[in-house]
Amino acid sequence: MFKGSIVAIATPFKNGRIDETALKKLVEFQIKNGTSGIVPCGTTGESPTLSTAEHERVIELCIKFSNKRVPIIAGTGSNSTEEAISLTKHAAQAGADAALIVSPYYNRPTQRGLYLHFKAIADSVDIPIILYNIASRTGVNIEPATMQKLAVECKNIVGVKEASGSLEQMATIKNLCGDDFILLSGDDTLTLPLLGIGGVGVISVVANIVPKDTAELVTAFEKGDVKKAQKLHNKLLPLVKAMFLETNPIPVKTAMGLMGLCSGDLRLPLCEMSEENLTKLKKTLRDYGLLKNK
């Protein structure tokens, strides 16, 4: 159920508020272009700057707008276990198909603390849980042995979004946690390599602007057309790199604004791109065929 190209959808803002009309259009854009699932309120969705009410509203709207056409994997992580439980319970009650739980950030728990944190959340709901491992943002890595313990002891912890950058770690997770444990790339540059070691898809940033190509890459690999998958990987690579000219989601949100998908508005402490990086982004978008005369 949770495989293919899954978009970490951006949260559109207008005049400082959530632009619900634009969010509906983004959901339709994704589904129309072959996206296999939607993650609201992740890093790309600027979840740290959403109030609790806004966070819950975005999840509810994505569930409503998707109307069961694709699974909704609600981002409900927090550095507070109590808050994460509350957000995850809300997502389950609202009808989310699963929850994506980032490891606690800033407070840097031990591996036992991580285990107890995720277990407490998993025990509080019945919906599937996908862990999100991104030490570059959180300050702590979920070690493969910790994932194995969680996968064995918590039947609704079904997979991980791996953004460690280490294919060796990803392969170790696959070996320890078994074939049924869902391994998703958390890095667009590693989608193809991850598929090669048994991964089943990606939770993607770049899919916000090129959902069709991202979806076709995974589909081509699944069908055994490795050459097509490689061609798409190479085509996407410059665009993916441009999405990280500055902190995500600054570039992708800016690109979405330039393409007319939604406003490029960000919430502080995220701010507009530097002129130098904006020029680079525009050139990459033009080279890809996404932008004309801007």
Q: Which residues are catalytic?
A: 132, 161
Cβ neighbors of 293 (< 8 A, separation 6 or more) are none
Bridge partners (DSSP) listed for residue 162: 133, 185
Distance of CA 82 to the CA centre of its chain: 22
Query: Do residues 62 and 41 touch, judged by C-beta distance below 8 A?
Result: no
Whole-angstrom distance between the N-terminal and C-terminal Cα of the chain?
39
Strand ranges in the chain using DSSP code E only, listed in sequence order:
4-8, 13-14, 17-18, 37-39, 73-75, 98-102, 129-133, 157-162, 182-185, 201-204
List b or e across 23-47, with b for residues whose CB sees 16 or more CB atoms inside 10 angstroms: bbebbebbbebbbbbbbbbbbbbbb
DSSP string, 45-86: TTGGGS-HHHHHHHHHHHHHHHTTSS-BEEE---SSHHHHHH
Residues 61, 67, 70, 72, CA torsion sign = positive
